[in-house]
Amino acid sequence: MRERGPAAALGLFTVLPAPFTPEIDRALAARAIRALPWLGLALGVLAAAVALAVRWRTGSDAFAAVSGLLVLQGLTGAMHLDGLADTADGLGSRRPASEALVIMRRSDIGPMGVTSIVLLLALDVAALATGHGHGGPAPAVLVGPAVARCAALTATRQGVPGARESGFGALFVGVTGRLVALLSALLVTGVAALAGWVSRGPEGMLVYAVAAAVALVTSEGWRSHLSRRLGGLTGDTFGSLIETTQAVFWVLVALL
């Protein structure tokens, strides 16, 4: 029986219980990656619920922001932060692409990786704790994971190269049609606009929609740089795309 994409995505990209997947082929990878933005939305709902409860109990946006982030990282096993750190170590080495990829495959973490994690999490908390309306950071926490994972989905569209012929990331490179990527981006932007409306009315709807669109466009720039620098994408760079796009979305919501 053909395994469903959402169940595969749950097992591949979270630590939550999911049906066992004995083998992942390209067809299953394509179905799983199509479900990834909506898995992100589900994770965001759980994290936002915790953030909202903490804010209601304490009145602190900062406490709520940290609580929401803890839920997100806990549910994913911080795998995307690990990808961010490995990517930072590879790029920070200033070595040729082949040597940078070797560095990224190592199990240890270097100073560039540690610094990238610390600074990005600090930026996330600062952005989520600033300038929000009804519900505090909860609406942004809800939408951010979906926008971030939509960036990973669009990066798997046909024509985007992979840096390796094997490995986890190689399963997903080029498995998504361009139309599917575009429709997913539009739907996620619509969801962001709806969350913005709930948070701050028409103004919030515009802010969230613009923030989502700009974050996705920015992710394309980062994806293009990674492809040029490393010769293509890897599993680690997908983690980097997710974390940076999420941070850009939250920062834009706070600034706008």
pLDDT, tens digit, for every residue of 125-170?
999 998 676 778 999 999 999 999 999 999 999 999 898 887 778 8
What residues contact 150, with CB distance under 8 A and at least 6 apart? 36, 37, 40, 184, 185, 188, 216, 245
Domain total of the chain: 1
- Give the 3-state DSSP-derived string for the chain, with helices as H, strands as E and coil as C: CCCCHHHHHHHHHCCCCCCCCCCCCHHHHHHHHHHHHHHHHHHHHHHHHHHHHHHHHHCCHHHHHHHHHHHHHHHHCCHHHHHHHHHHHHHHCCCCHHHHHHHHHCCCCCHHHHHHHHHHHHHHHHHHCCCCCCCCCHHHHHHHHHHHHHHHHHHCECCCCECCCCCCHHHCCCCECHHHHHHHHHHHHHHHHHHHHHHHHHHHHHHHHHHHHHHHHHHHHHHHHHHHHHCCECHHHHHHHHHHHHHHHHHHHHHC
Per-residue pLDDT tens over the stretch 193-207: 999 998 889 999 999
% the chain with pLDDT above 70? 96
User: 142 is in which domain, residue-wise?
Assistant: 5-255
pLDDT tens profile 215-247 = 999 999 999 999 999 999 999 999 999 999 999
**93-114, pLDDT tens digit by residue?**
999 999 999 999 998 899 999 9
